[in-house]
């Protein structure tokens, strides 16, 4: 399950759908690992957008962070690092 915390960033409904669609691959990897929760927090720090992803599962915790000039780039960077972290977590379990 993915939980999105927008923080101090106002997102339109279409942008919210884009954010959740970007994490589809991570969600599929998460379902393979088992029952877990992915919490994504989005906030603005000065002129930068900062995204945090916390994954809580029975095998451990994973934390990823990205800070970029625009939220699209930060979102892409965070989704890649989250997929890599979940893939490494899956390799440890298998």
Give alpha helix (H) positions in the chain.
13-22, 24-33, 71-93
Grouped pLDDT means (10 residues each) for the chain, 94 residues: 86 89 83 82 93 85 91 91 86 73
84-94 burial, b for 16+ CB within 10 Å, e for fewer? ebbeebeeeee
C-alpha Rg value of the chain to the nearest Å: 13
Q: What CATH number has the domain bearing residue 48?
A: 3.30.160.100
Q: What's residue 1's pLDDT?
A: 79
Q: What's residue 65's pLDDT?
A: 94
Sheet holding 37-45, edge to edge: 2-5, 37-45, 48-57, 60-68
Q: What's residue 58's pLDDT?
A: 77
Boundaries of domain holding 8: 2-93
Q: What is the pTM of this model?
A: 0.84
Q: What's residue 94's pLDDT?
A: 65
How many domains does the chain divide into? Answer: 1
């Amino acid at each position: 399950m993915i939980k999105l915390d927008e923080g101090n960033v106002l997102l339109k409904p279409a942008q919210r759908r884009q954010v959740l669609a970007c994490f589809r691959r991570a969600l599929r990897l998460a379902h393979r690992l088992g029952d877990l929760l992915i919490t994504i927090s989005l906030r603005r720090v000065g002129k930068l957008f900062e995204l945090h992803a916390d994954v809580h599962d029975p095998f451990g915790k994973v934390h990823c962070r990205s800070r970029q000039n625009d939220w699209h780039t930060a979102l892409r960077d965070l989704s890649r690092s989250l997929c890599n972290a979940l893939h490494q977590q899956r390799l440890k379990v298998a």
